[in-house]
Amino acid sequence: MAARILIIEDNKANLELAEYLLKASGYTTLTATDGEEGVRSARKEHPDLIICDLQMPIMDGYEVVRELKKDPLLRSIPVIAVTALSMPGDRNQVMSAGFDGYLSKPIEPETFAGTVEGFLPPGLRAPRRPGGS
Ligand code: MN
């Protein structure tokens, strides 16, 4: 069965693009537009993967990953940061904050879903459609 993926992102255009691309690849998506709502949704819905923006109102991505990773029921869910990294040390900062991986912005429609899929166990990947790439 294809994964249920929670997207936590305050930018509407990015949220809609990520949601569209993942749905088109066969995934079920859940969305939240700030960190607090994202953590609440994770607790309620137990998604298979979480994609999380870093800069958000109310609760930023660093606080979100801290909350999720200290919860024994949630800490095994992979949390992927989506961010525009610009400095050489940024990746280390993201990874040491507890994220399981990161994707760089802007979202690349050609490769986004495939890259996200790389963070899922094989049993939760959407089946390849005939003729699809
Ligand atoms: Mn943001």
Residue 126's CB is within 10 A of a number of other CB atoms, namely 19
pLDDT digits (tens, 9 = 90+) for 78-105: 999 998 877 778 888 899 999 999 998 8
Distance 113 CA to ligand 1 centre (A): 20
* pTM of the predicted model as reported, rounded to 2 decimal places: 0.93
Number of domains in the chain: 1
Residue 11's CB is within 10 A of a number of other CB atoms, namely 15
Q: Measured between alpha carbons, how far is 22 from 107 in angstroms, rounded to an integer? A: 12
> Does any domain span residue 126?
no
Q: Which CATH number characterizes residue 9's domain?
A: 3.40.50.2300
> Does any domain span residue 108?
yes
Q: Domain residues for 55? A: 4-121
Q: What is the pLDDT of residue 32?
A: 98
> Does any domain span residue 84?
yes
Give the rounded percent of residues in the chain with a pLDDT score beyond 70. Answer: 95
> Does any domain span residue 132?
no
- 14 CB-near residues (< 8 Å, 6+ apart): 53, 82, 105, 107
- Structure tokens given for 60: 């930023």
Chain centroid to CA 27: 12
pLDDT digits (tens, 9 = 90+) for 1-13: 789 999 999 999 9
> Does any domain span residue 89?
yes
> Does any domain span residue 63?
yes
> Does any domain span residue 113?
yes
Distance 33 CA to ligand 1 centre (A): 9
Distance 74 CA to ligand 1 centre (A): 23
Distance 65 CA to ligand 1 centre (A): 15
Q: Measured between alpha carbons, how far is 54 from 43 in angstroms, rounded to an integer? A: 19
> Does any domain span residue 129?
no
Handedness of CA 75, 96, 11, 70 (dihedral sign): positive
